[in-house]
Amino acid sequence: MRVSGSAVVVVMEALCGKRLTPRHATLGPFLGDEGEVIDEGISLYFPGPHSYSGEDVLELQGHGGPVVLQMILRRCLVAGKAQGLRIAEPGEFTRRAFLNDKIDLLQAEAVADLIEASTEAAARSAQASLHGVFSQAVEAIVEALTKLRLLVEATLDFPEEEIEFLKSSDALGQLERIRLELTSVLERTRQGALLRDGVKVVLAGRPNVGKSSLLNALAEAEVAIVTAIPGTTRDRIAQAIQIEGVALHIIDTAGLRATSDPIEIIGIERSWREIEGADIILNLRDAREPLMADDIEIASRFPPSVPSRSIFNKIDLTGEPARIDGPSVYVSALTGAGMDLLRQEILRLAGWQALGETAFLGRQRHLEALQAADLHLARAAAHAGESDRALDLYAEELRLAQDELGQITGELTSDELLGEIFGRFCIGK
């Protein structure tokens, strides 16, 4: 149990019966209203500001169990009542840490990402963000921008010397370097977004081409039922897998065909819904069969913005080698031939590159802010090439870019956004 804020000292004296030595683990009883022992455990007292939240913090480590925990909780609430002690909201400890400048917003989000990480790569990346690696990269850009803005704003006040001054201080070169750095951060954030959110890969195609077999081969487990009867899969089957630490959600669907079976019809409707929400579509075909009207009809209904590949399955029956040929991949779900090629192709379609450096576990809002900043810098660069009249526009674009970056670390953030970010935490964090 963790208590934070102005009630800590009162609660500590009531429950532990004394004032604890700061940052020492103290074994002792937890006392009830009448001085009776509720439980025994370790207490830790962290006086602010050297605590997680930046306020006074008390941590009580008992034996656990819901009833004893409830008793300790009730005791804390009674003891701290006069100080306004109440149950924390989700993420409130971390929110306070942010408000007390212990961490910035990127680090606060990294706490939630670390808890929710679904792969080791995502956890490592969240840990790096928590240690400020992502924040430092953004801060470095903000600092460089601030320097450049000072220069430009100063020049605005002395229009006669404008051109010479900006030239001698290499204003153009500075902007170019900032843009390069931003591009690199953006790329690392895109990679991190893949680690964080995963990629939805939908297996689609006519019945009996081997979609369920391919799911099983990718999952290396018997997840879906496979039979020689067309129309075996009726409902969508989802399986989470990892390739090189990237989380993939593989969705097997009912084979697409005209049918009067009411169950199959519903299944096929679901297949289309999955296809429409896919990040990547694998369009399966039987390598033995020629292109059929149905295949053309199916592919024509894929959303054009979603990347797709034709997967020719069952090459063990045609004797062809496993290979990638333009937009086609030749595999055998049965023998496993070509599966490594297919895995690499999926990663490539997802936009994953094994970067030498850590990916930044990006959220949508980070990506949007970075992209917006990038756009403002591009506009600034365009203005820089123009006549003197554009200098104030140039300065304005730099300011806008800096504002966007400020939103990432939380320097400029609305209460609503904070509520949204911390509301998703679990209680006690």
- Interacting residues toward ligand GTP by CB under 6 A: 207-213, 226-228, 230-233, 254-255, 313-314, 316-317, 332-334
Per residue in 18-51, is it b (16+ CB within 10 Å) or e — as a string? eebeeeeeeeebbbbeeeeebbebebbbbebeeb
Of 233 and 402, the one with the shorter C-beta distance to Mg ion is 233
Of 24 and 288, the one with the shorter C-beta distance to ligand GTP is 288
Bridge partners (DSSP) of residue 281 are: 202, 308
- Angstrom CA distances, 390 to 17, 330, 380, 383, stand at 70, 56, 9, 6
Q: CB of residue 236 vs ligand GTP: minimum separation in angstroms? A: 11
Q: CB of residue 201 vs ligand GTP: minimum separation in angstroms? A: 15
- The residues that touch Mg ion, with contacts defined as CB under 5 A, are 211-212, 232-233
The runs of H, that is alpha helices, within 198-292 are 211-219, 262-276
Instruction: From the list Mg ion, ligand GTP, none, pick the one residue 313 interacts with, judged by a Cβ distance below 5 to 8 Å according to partner type.
Output: ligand GTP
Q: CB of residue 223 vs Mg ion: minimum separation in angstroms? A: 11
DSSP 63-101: ---HHHHHHHHHHHHHHTGGGT--PPPTTHHHHHHHHTT
Q: Is the dihedral of CA 240, 242, 246, 250 positive or negative?
A: negative
Of 177 and 343, the one with the shorter C-beta distance to ligand GTP is 343
**Residue with the shortest CB distance to ligand GTP:** 255
Instruction: From the list Mg ion, ligand GTP, none, pick the one residue 3 interacts with, judged by a Cβ distance below 5 to 8 Å according to partner type.
Output: none
Cis preceding-peptide flag for 159 (omega within 30 of 0): no
Q: CB of residue 393 vs ligand GTP: minimum separation in angstroms? A: 57
Of 107 and 233, the one with the shorter C-beta distance to ligand GTP is 233
Using CA atoms, how far apart are residues 424 and 429, in angstroms rounded to an integer? Answer: 11
Of 191 and 233, the one with the shorter C-beta distance to Mg ion is 233
Q: CB of residue 334 vs Mg ion: minimum separation in angstroms? A: 14
Instruction: From the list Mg ion, ligand GTP, none, pick the one residue 105 interacts with, judged by a Cβ distance below 5 to 8 Å according to partner type.
Output: none
